[in-house]
Amino acid sequence: MRPRALRRGWQRQSGGIISSLISLLFVFVLCLVLYLARRPLLRFAGEAWIIEDPLERADAIIVLSDDNFYADRAAHAADLYRHGMAPLVVASGRKLRPYAGVAELMEHDLVERGVPKDKILPIVHAAENTREEAEALAPQVAQRKWHRVIVVTSNYHTRRARYIFTRVFPSETQVRVTGAQDGDFDPDHWWQKRVGIKRLTREVAGMFVAIWELRGEHQGKGKTPSVVGLSGLKPQSVV
């Protein structure tokens, strides 16, 4: 009996060792695959936050506040205006001082890029994040009875912007979102720069905040269907 018991114990011990080795081998292979596929995975993570709606002629082009140093949002909005996508450009901007704010800077950028001053509508507000900005703009949209608007923001911010604006704006207003190429965020290499990492991390956190804050709010009839829906993501003061 004793030799037989020893054999059973040795077999159990051998089985445990083999199981541990298989587990370690699996973890090693998984880490190796992730390491080799890191660049495509990181590119996918960056591109997953960028959406681009099909554009149609609208009542207004709305440029969201806090454009970057290069005025990329203003440049994109001016290009859309020149192509006849809308007769009016809204310069949405938060207050910086009692006598000046982002809207004035954006108006200057738009004029510099060929938009006539009388075709620019500055809207000044005190919004500290995207949801508050949408809520500040919504009454103007309703009052002017705009049926379709094009929202211009930075490329990395498009997914969250559409999620928020389609839930805050009047249900009868169609929202189209388009992204300006951002000089500080390259979706193919965002992880190589500290600013790119900050941009994407902020967007992920901001989306979770937006979902929580707008829970119970639903996309109204006539809103733009998702080109890449929120469910397609696989892998606020947040703005």
Q: Which domains does the chain have, with CATH numbers?
A: 60-224 (3.40.50.620)
Q: Which helix (H) or strand (E) holds 180?
A: strand 174-180
Q: Which residue has the tokens 């709606």?
A: 53
CA neighbor of 128 nearest in space, from 165, 152, 166, 96: 96
pLDDT value, residue 232:
38
Give the relative orientation of helices 194-213 and 38-47 as an angle to the nearest 10 degrees.
50
What letter represents residue 132's amino acid?
E
For the full predicted model, state whether its pTM sits above 0.75: yes
The contacts of residue 54 (CB under 8 Å, 6+ apart) are 176, 227
pLDDT 10s per residue in the chain (239 long)? 455 554 555 555 555 666 666 666 666 566 655 555 567 777 877 888 899 999 999 999 999 999 999 999 999 999 999 999 999 999 999 998 888 889 999 999 999 999 999 999 999 999 999 999 999 999 999 999 999 999 999 999 999 999 999 999 999 999 999 999 988 888 888 888 888 889 999 999 999 999 999 987 766 543 444 333 443 343 334 44
Which residues pair with residue 152 across a beta bridge? 63, 178
Structure tokens at 118: 């009388």
SS3 67: coil
